[in-house]
A and B are shown apart, each in its own frame.
Chain A
Amino acid sequence: MSTRVLWVLGIFAALLVLLAVGLGLNPREVPSPLIGKPAPQFVLPLLHQPDKTFSSKEPLGSVWVFNVWASWCVGCRDEHPVLVEFAKSGAAPLYGLNYKDRREDGMKWLDRYGNPYRASFFDADGKVGIDYGVYGVPETYVIDKRGVIRFKQIGAVTPEVMARRIVPLVGELQRE
């Protein structure tokens, strides 16, 4: 009798642990298949200078941070001060992908909240976004000297993610 009770309790406890772990996971965080793969190549016009283009080959040889943002994106506003701070530190160049936005809106947004980007690229139809597997703006990538994606943050970069993940990783990659 008591062994049976123990069994039932054991199974119940196991189920509880399983459900608790499941609840703690975030189903929105889809593991990116792009980690460890070369960053998709693109050539896009600059947000501020429509007649000039940027090729993703340009930063090859240096570690860079690539942030997908838009003026209509609420989470972007949350992470913005963190990015401004990061840009000020000069740890690595920060480039922006202005995703599915209107040019004037994007520029106005940067005027208002500050522009931490060395340059922002204008991805009006979101094609480059699709190549980077973007499905929830903001998203942030750390790309190494060989142009390989080493880290991806889905959703706003919090001060913790910046301090614990991105900054140490950038430092590490620069020594590679």
Chain B
Amino acid sequence: MNKEDPVLEKRVRDVAHELRCLVCQNQTLADSNAELAVDLRNSIREQLERGASERDVLEFMVARYGDFVLYRPPLKASTIALWAGPFALLGIGAFVLARRMRRKRPEAEPLSEAERARVAALLKE
């Protein structure tokens, strides 16, 4: 196997960065040394050598391991909450905040006669 081709190796690494290592889950295939990760990197290399495109390789992996294998999940009906959720929460937060700020503070109650006299007395001191 020719492992010396730097262009090919870079392509392998780039694709591997897009894929999740299923054994270690929170690492990409590029960062993992698990045995399966090594095998899958070899598989990526073989496919690219055979002339497959990056997209073909990603499709190959999704067909076997599902969307979960993609480090960046695709935008589709089942993942819409994942993508839109944070923005929706931000929007709700902004809405609540805006409503709160616009709400008028209750007017201060007018002073009673006794209070008025007390204020006048205090001011005179």
- For residue B58, CB closer than 8 A to chain A, the reply is no
Taking the closest CB of chain B, its distance from the CB of A115, in whole angstroms, is 25
Q: Within the complex, which residue of B63, B65, B67 is in contact with A135, where a contact is CB–CB below 8 Å?
A: B65
Contact (Cβ within 8 A) A130 B66: no
Contact (Cβ within 8 A) A30 B22: yes
- For residue B23, CB closer than 8 A to chain A, the reply is yes
Contact (Cβ within 8 A) A33 B65: yes
Contact (Cβ within 8 A) A130 B64: yes
Secondary structure at the A interface, as helix, strand, loop or mixed, is loop
Q: Within the complex, which residue of A28, A31, A100, A132 is in contact with B64, where a contact is CB–CB below 8 Å?
A: A132
Contact (Cβ within 8 A) A30 B23: no
Number of A interface residues, CB 8 Å? 17
Contact (Cβ within 8 A) A27 B25: yes
Taking the closest CB of chain B, its distance from the CB of A154, in whole angstroms, is 10
Name the residue on B nearest A136 (C-beta).
B23
Contact (Cβ within 8 A) A135 B36: yes
Task: Please judge, given known A-B contacts A30-B66, A33-B62, A100-B35, whether A135 and B23 are in contact too, CB under 8 Å.
Answer: yes
Please name the 5 residue pairs, one residue from A and one from B, whose CB atoms are nearest each other, closest first: A135-B22, A133-B64, A33-B66, A30-B68, A133-B65
A-B contact pairs, 16 of them (CB 8 A): A30-B22, A30-B65, A31-B68, A33-B62, A33-B63, A100-B35, A126-B36, A126-B39, A127-B43, A130-B43, A130-B64, A131-B64, A135-B22, A135-B23, A135-B36, A135-B65
